[in-house]
Structure formats: C-alpha cells, structure tokens
C-alpha cells in the first residue's frame, strides 16, 4: 500500500539538496525551500521543478500553506531556535547535525518538544551505516554480554587550502562556524553510533586536547584551532565508558567503532572495506564461534537498491524513511529530543572540560526539570552569532592562537576577498 504523502519544507538549500531524492523516494513531497542565498533557491527549482516555492526569509517559509514538516539544514549550531518555532506551530522537525549550540537552547528545545504534538528527530546518519547496524544486531542478541567499553572516531582531516574553491566554500569568512570550530562540538558522528548500538547514555564527561599548532603563514589561508582532536571520555548510565572524538584530524580519513563487552568484542575495520571483526573469549564463545570472524554484513532491506545510492553509506535514506514513517505512524523516533540534547550536552561540556584541563562535568538529564533549571540561562558559545554577537567562550585552549586573533581573522577575510576578486577577473 502506498504511504501517505507528507509535505516537507527544506531550510538550508546547500546540505538540504542532498536529501531531496531520499525524501521523495519515501513519498515526501518537497513543497518549499528556504535559503538566504538565492543561488540555492534557483538550484531547488532546477532540481525539483517550478512548482516548488522558494523563500529567502524563514518567517514567510514557516507559514507556507500545508507545510507538515521541515528539514533543518542551516548552519551547524543554529538549529534550535528554528526547531522551536516549528514545534510551536505543530510542524514536525528533522534537524541535521546538532540539536543545540548552547545549553540554554537545549533546555528550551526540550520544553518546546514536550509541549508540541509534532515529532522532533535528529537527522544523524552514521548509526545507519551497515557495519553499525550489524554491531547493534549482534549486541542486542546478547552473545557479547554486558558492555564494558566502546570507542568511536570520526576522523576528517582536510587538505590545507590546496583546493581554494573547496576550502572557501567550506569556510567563506572568519565568522563562519567552521572557522574556529571546537574539536568536541561536532560529536554526533562519533558518539551517536555507540549510543545506537549499545543503548548506553553518557552521564559524566571529561576531555583532553590533542595539540598540533602550526606556524603562521601570512600569505596562505589558515583557519582552525590548534587542537587536532578532543579526546572525550564519558561514564555512562550502565557503568560503561565511551572514548570518542569530535571531528578529529589525525591519521587518515575514516570513521571507526568498537564495542568491548564481558564475553567478547566487535569492530569495523579502518580500511573502508565495510568489514567487521567479531571475537569472543574462548571460554565464552557461542558454539561455532571460537575463532575471530571477519565478514562483510549483508543488507536485507526492501529498499536495498535505493539505500545503495544514498549518501553516507545509505544513512541519508534511512534517516528520511524513519522520519516520515514516524510521522505517519505517530511514534517517537529513536533519535528524539532527549537523545539529541544528551549528545549536544556532551559536546558542549566536554569542551569546557578540555579548557579546564580535564575537569569532569555531569551531563544533565533534560527529562528532569531540576537539571533544566541549572542550564536554562547558560548561553556560553564559541561561535559568532548571525546577529553579530561575539564569542563568549574560547574555541581553543590557546585563545591567542594566531588564527583566532583579530589580525588573523582580518587576514583570512582579506585573502578570501583577494582570491574571489582574482577569480572574477579571470572569468571576464
């Protein structure tokens, strides 16, 4: 039986455009796209057809007639205020990448979600990678026993401005969120798979910086913080410990996960093969599993062909399907507002731990009003606000690092402007 059509709006046309096919494949109808950059509005019309409404203003976009749900794919740390406005109007929310940029926003988001009849879901795609789904299946089968320790790494080094078009597209100015992103903040890709696989929830966090300051080069685009990774440890509600990174930049580009339990362990290989290694202690091994097993999981899914074409190892398709199915079935998603704000709290508070040399922080449970009261006015942020507000906490343990000074920021902006002027001149 054909699934009911859900009318969806996309807020943020750059990343949002990569979800068009996955949403439509799950009988989502994209009726409106909003982006402050008009070229992404035009791209939406080119990709979706002339019937789609385009906006450059969220106030008008959110009032689009018949709008049932929105995908938030705007700037990384600015989702919560828009999610709250949608939830207050009874519009379902799929939020792409982190739920809240400050602790106060996390409190406000949870309160809004609890009052709303609409669904809130975090669009976190890495748990749906096939090897992570296989580790969840095996763990839930019980043969590995109780969880003791798990590791998650999202390792994403980027070439230092060799491809200037790509580099500037990622970070067009020194006030952009990527310019001085704290290493712990982009934590969902390393932490969410572990939470999904094991069901464990972080309750306490500590973190340390892995450093690599680089020399200042005045004629070269340089951005970023001197930390290469935030090494984050969490104590969880089941007594286990996670070790995760945020968006790290050491070694080679990869994402890897490992769960260590009482009877054995399981991990995906770091060679991009998609293979997993399952090992048991010889005295605890199920019959026929005495030796380590290296294998590639098989995908058994009715939408296998569509999943194979989707981004992030098929994860983007699973996200779209789950969100729309939750709307139609009236059920709460696994990656709900509590799942999302727990991860955001780990990201934010682990950065504060890093700045304070590893000081432990308790992770609040935003189901509890007493925990919300502790953070409802906590607006500390390492980002420049779109309203022109300044950073209120350092993005780095070295606050006077050369890219973070006023001079360093001005130099970056001047070099970007010079490159774009030269490029425009060459095109004439």
pLDDT of residue 97: 81
Measured N-to-C along each axis, helices 103-115 and 337-355 cross at an angle, to the nearest 10 degrees, of 170
pLDDT of residue 160: 65
Q: Are 412 and 167 in contact (CB under 8 A)?
A: no
Pairing of strands 69-72, 92-95: parallel
pLDDT-flagged residues of the chain (< 70): 1, 160-161, 311-312, 428
Q: Classify residue 428 by burial, with Cβ atoms within 10 Å: 0-12, 13-18, 19+.
A: exposed
- The CATH 3.40.50.720 domain(s) of the chain lie at 6-122
Task: Give me the CATH topology for the region 128-302+335-375.
Answer: Dihydrodipicolinate Reductase; domain 2 (3.30.360)
Rounded to whole angstroms, what are the CA distances from 328 to 13, 26, 64, 403? 25, 11, 20, 48
Strand order of the β-sheet with 254-261 is: 293-295, 276-280, 264-268, 254-261, 147-155, 241-248, 227-236, 202-211, 361-362
DSSP 75-89: STT-HHHHHHHHHHT
For residues 188 and 348, what is the distance between their CA atoms, to the nearest angstrom?
12
pLDDT of residue 260: 98
Left if phi > 0, otherwise alpha if psi is -120 to 50, otherwise beta: which for 313?
Answer: left
pLDDT of residue 226: 97
Task: Give me the CATH topology for the region 6-122.
Answer: Rossmann fold (3.40.50)
Identify the DSSP state of 173.
S
pLDDT of residue 263: 97
- The CATH 3.30.360.10 domain(s) of the chain lie at 128-302+335-375
pLDDT of residue 311: 65
H or E element that contains 196: helix 188-198
């Amino acid at each position: 039986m054909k699934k009911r059509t859900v009318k969806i709006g996309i807020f943020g046309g750059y990343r949002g455009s990569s979800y068009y096919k996955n949403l439509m494949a799950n009988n989502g109808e994209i009726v409106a796209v909003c982006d402050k950059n008009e070229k992404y509005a035009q791209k939406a019309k080119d990709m979706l057809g002339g019937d789609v409404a385009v906006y450059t203003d969220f106030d008008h976009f959110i009032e689009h007639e018949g709008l049932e749900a929105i995908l938030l794919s705007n700037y990384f740390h600015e989702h919560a205020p828009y999610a709250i406005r949608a939830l207050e109007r009874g519009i379902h929310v799929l939020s792409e990448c982190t739920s809240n940029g400050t602790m106060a926003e996390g409190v406000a988001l949870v309160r809004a979600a609890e009052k709303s009849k609409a669904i809130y879901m975090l669009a976190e795609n890495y748990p749906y990678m096939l090897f992570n789904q296989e580790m969840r299946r095996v763990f839930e089968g019980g043969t590995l026993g109780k969880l003791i320790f798990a590791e998650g790494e999202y390792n994403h080094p980027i070439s230092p401005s060799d491809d200037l078009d790509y580099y500037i597209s990622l970070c067009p100015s020194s006030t952009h969120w990527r310019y001085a992103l704290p290493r712990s903040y982009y934590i969902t890709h390393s932490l969410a798979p572990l939470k999904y696989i094991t069901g464990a929830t972080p309750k306490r966090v500590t973190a340390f910086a892995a450093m690599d300051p680089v020399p200042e080069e005045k004629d070269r685009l340089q951005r970023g913080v001197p930390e290469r990774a935030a090494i984050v440890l969490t104590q969880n509600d089941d007594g286990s410990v996670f070790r995760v990174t945020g968006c790290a930049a050491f070694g080679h580009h990869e994402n890897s996960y490992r769960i260590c339990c009482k009877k054995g362990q399981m991990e995906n290989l770091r060679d991009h093969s998609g293979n997993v290694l399952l090992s048991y202690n010889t005295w605890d091994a199920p019959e026929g599993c005495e030796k380590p097993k290296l294998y590639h999981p098989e995908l058994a899914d009715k939408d296998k062909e569509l999943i194979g074409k989707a981004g992030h190892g098929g994860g983007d398709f699973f996200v779209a399907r789950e969100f729309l199915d939750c709307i139609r079935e009236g059920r709460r998603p696994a990656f709900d507002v509590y799942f999302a704000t727990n991860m955001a709290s780990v990201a934010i508070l682990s950065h504060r731990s890093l700045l304070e040399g590893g000081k432990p922080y308790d992770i609040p449970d935003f189901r509890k009003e007493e925990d919300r009261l502790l953070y409802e006015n906590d607006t500390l942020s390492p980002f420049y606000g779109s309203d022109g507000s300044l950073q209120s906490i350092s993005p780095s343990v070295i606050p006077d690092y050369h890219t973070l000074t006023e001079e360093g920021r001005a130099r970056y902006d001047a070099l970007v402007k010079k490159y774009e002027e030269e490029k425009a001149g060459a095109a004439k």
